[in-house]
Amino acid sequence: MVRLNKAMPLEHARTLLAGLSERVADCYEHADRVVSLAERIAQRLGLPERDIAQVRLAAELHDLGKVDIPPDVLASPQTLDRDAWETMKSHTVLGERILADSGDPALIAIAPYVRHHHECVSGNGYPDGLVGEQIPLVSRIIAVADAYDAMAERRPYRDAKSHQRIIEVMTGEVGIRWDPEVFAAFLAVVKSDRALASEPRRSAAN
């Protein structure tokens, strides 16, 4: 498993993400967009700046665990089969382990948020099947921002969804995947941002 250089763990983590972007198209840019959207959701929720700073950092590093995912899974040109999907899902746990072992208090603090950013409020998410407020608020925020941006990306095995279609899909999942209060804040953010509704569709790997 990848380990961070403890002399400069955050800088090393960012270097790893930059390297990952060479294997996963748009990975670095995806992280930047998730940071921006998650930060605005957190601000809309009225979180204090200390918590918003954690949202920014966890959103930036939410996919760090993918550095330990095999290249053939990361770059698969088709929908992942069951075994490959289980491997891909492990990036949440791998990311947590990398951060928790960093020796950096700031990275250790956000490790659980990275682990839980694919949980669903209904309990059907991963890796631990947490329910509702068992899921850290930071993770619930990142989950919404990450899903929005992922659906707006074209993948080798599917087209990008339009802004309107993404909102329709995500609205149908409120209370199942998304925390209702977090989703309401997300809607308020995107309704005030015309660029999200009009920007060109993007392309990325898994």
pLDDT digits (tens, 9 = 90+) for 142-199: 999 999 999 998 877 788 899 999 999 999 999 999 999 999 999 999 998 866 655 5
- This prediction's pTM: 0.93
In which band, very low, low, confident or very high, does the pLDDT at 138 lie, cut at 50, 70 and 90? very high
CATH architecture of 9-203: Orthogonal Bundle (1.10)
Query: H or E stretch including 153?
Result: strand 153-154
**What is the tens place of the pLDDT at every residue in 9-30?**
999 999 999 889 888 777 888 9
Count each helix (H run) and each strand (E run) in the chain, helices first: 11, 2
Domain ranges of the chain: 9-203
Could you tell me what percent of the chain has a pLDDT over 90?
A: 79
Contacts 24+ apart (CB under 8 A), 145-149: 145/33, 145/34, 145/37, 145/38, 145/41, 145/59, 145/186, 146/34, 146/38, 146/59, 146/62, 146/117, 147/177, 148/37, 148/186, 148/190, 149/30, 149/33, 149/34, 149/37
**What is the tens place of the pLDDT at every residue in 27-47?**
888 999 999 999 999 999 999
